């Protein structure tokens, strides 16, 4: 078991996104990153497609703002901020790989690019521009803990969280463009967004910390739900939920090593007590396929 250097301070940066205005969104992200770092954050999470939004009217619009990794401006921005402050930062944006486009999150660290994750499950109209992710579900080992990344609709599949946990993730960072839904589908306040509920439930099921970072405000006709939060390994809100209308930074001080204690009673361990005689131990996931 690798040793974690120190407790981490998580910052979910809930920001407004201006549609396809990359420089404007990078400037806003920069302002909020500076504020979070000044407050001691060591792991910063930005929303899904934080430089553009994801509800593109055409594939051509998505292609026009897509970037290569790591040479594109958003990758370079995140790498620069992580290096300057000695922190870890993640957020997703539109990646261009040849003719293909992906909704991709990078994890930038003090020493450079730690890795990237491509969204597995494109959502609604996203299927018209984004390819399904083909990098598996990696877990990145860092001095502050083992970090996994998921993007929006991936959180609707419990298999994604379980595969992260089976690979030893201490925290799962989830990035959303979750939007306000009609009244018949809303939950009672203060948990009116399903994103937070999914994150709390899967934190409990897998005994891991889960950070849920959504955007806020309106972007190309979509009103984001906000309510970013961090759930502890018992599934309870450790910080948040934030407002559903205003920008916010949600902070949580956590010892990621706590997620490695996969039991709440000596005879009841989240992973050890699985009935692998009934269902597959690894859900058919083979990480070596993606290396």
Catalytically annotated residues: 48, 119, 152
DSSP string spanning the chain? -PPP-S-EEEEEEE-B--TT-HHHHHHHHHHHHHHHHHTT-SEEEPPTTTTT-S--SSHHHHHHH-B-TTTSHHHHHHHHHHHHHT-EEEEEEEEEETTEEEEEEEEEETTEEEEEEE-SS--GGGGGTPPPP-S---EEEETTEEEEEEEGGGGG-HHHHHHHHHTT-SEEEEEE--B---GGGPPSTT---HHHHHHHHHHHHHT-EEEEEE-EEEETTEEEE---EEE-TTS-EEE----SSS-EEEEEEE-GGGGG--EEETTEETTTT--TTTS-SSTT--GGGG-
């Amino acid at each position: 078991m690798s040793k974690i250097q120190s407790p981490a301070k998580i910052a979910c940066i809930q920001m407004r996104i201006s549609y396809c205005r990359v420089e404007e969104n990078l400037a806003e992200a920069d302002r909020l990153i500076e504020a979070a770092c000044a407050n001691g954050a060591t792991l910063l999470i930005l929303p899904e497609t934080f430089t553009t939004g994801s509800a593109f009217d055409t594939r051509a619009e998505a292609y026009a703002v897509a970037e290569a990794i790591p040479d594109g401006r958003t990758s370079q921005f995140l790498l620069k901020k992580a290096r300057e402050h000695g922190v870890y930062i993640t957020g997703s944006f539109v990646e261009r790989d040849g003719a293909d486009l992906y909704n991709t999150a990078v994890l930038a660290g003090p020493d450079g690019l730690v890795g990237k994750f491509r969204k597995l499950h494109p959502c609604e109209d996203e299927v018209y521009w984004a390819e399904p992710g083909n990098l598996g579900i990696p877990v990145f080992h860092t001095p502050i803990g083992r970090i996994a990344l998921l993007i929006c609709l991936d959180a609707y599949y419990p298999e994604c969280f379980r595969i992260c946990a089976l690979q030893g993730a201490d925290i799962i960072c989830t990035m959303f463009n979750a939007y306000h839904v009609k009244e018949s589908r809303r939950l009672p306040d203060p948990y009116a967004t399903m994103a937070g509920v999914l994150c709390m439930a899967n934190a409990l099921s897998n005994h891991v910390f889960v950070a849920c970072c959504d955007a806020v405000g309106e972007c190309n006709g979509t009103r984001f739900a906000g309510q970013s939060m961090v759930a502890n390994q018992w599934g309870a809100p450790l910080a948040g939920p934030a407002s559903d209308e205003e920008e916010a930074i949600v902070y949580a001080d956590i010892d990621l090593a706590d997620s490695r204690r996969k039991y709440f009673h000596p005879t009841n361990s989240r992973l050890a007590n699985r009935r692998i005689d009934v269902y597959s131990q690894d859900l058919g996931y083979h990480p070596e396929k993606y290396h």
